[in-house]
Amino acid sequence: MSENAKVLLNALSAYDSDNDSDNDSIKSESSHSETALPETTDSSTDMPDQEEEEEEDRELLEYRPAKQKLEALLGCNKVPDFVPNPDMPPCSMELEAKFKHWYNLKRQGANFNETLMRNKTFRNPNIYRWLVDHLQLDEAGTNFDQFDPAQLRNDFTARGLAEEQEKRAREYAARKAADTQRNVQFYSGGYEKLAPSSQHLSRPKQPNFEEAVARAKLIAQHLSRPKQS
């Protein structure tokens, strides 16, 4: 660490210690004023404190100049001396005369906006065109570089955009088809009718069923007989 840096650090520590001592003294004074206790002087206790303060002042004596410089640097609002002034190019005589003229008008209380509002020319509906012609402005001009269509990319043209859209459409269709193949298809619940088999047709005949069939045959034969006159 360089010597200047050491001096600066010591000055900062001394500055901090002085602030702490000032704060302690302020606190002690405020507490003393609030309590309003009777003052008692003791020569035996005042002498060591005074000697300690004098010894501390002797130790910090060599840092006083650095502390003063630091306080002056931190407490002032002006630019330090070590910062060089900016290089100012000389102003033209015409511009300086114009600034001086406007400054004198401002000191006299002249207001350009009020003067312009009182002017009859300002109420002219063609004032815009008049101002453009007076200031020699190019309405169709621009501060940007001249447009060069050769600098555009191929996808900036109508054909390039159409090809890019078609390419993206094909990619989207292919991606969607691949997604549908991987997806699991769900169907609504139901049952499936089974084809009739010989097992279902050949039911075991029961006695009640056979009796009903025989009775039906007898009734049919009785009805089919011709009636005797």
pLDDT tens-place values along the chain, 229 residues long: 556 566 566 666 655 555 555 555 555 555 544 444 445 444 445 566 777 777 777 777 777 788 777 777 776 666 556 667 777 888 889 999 999 999 999 899 888 888 888 888 777 778 888 888 888 888 887 778 777 767 777 777 888 889 999 999 999 999 888 877 666 666 677 666 655 555 555 555 555 778 888 888 888 887 777 666 5
Number of domains present in the structure of the chain: 3
Q: Are residues 3 and 74 in the same domain?
A: yes
Domain span including residue 102: 93-123
Q: Are residues 64 and 118 in the same domain?
A: no
Q: Supply the pLDDT for residue 137.
A: 85
Q: Are residues 75 and 104 in the same domain?
A: no
Q: Are residues 101 and 25 in the same domain?
A: no
Q: Is 12 exposed, middle or buried (0-12, 13-18, 19+ CB in 10 A)?
A: middle
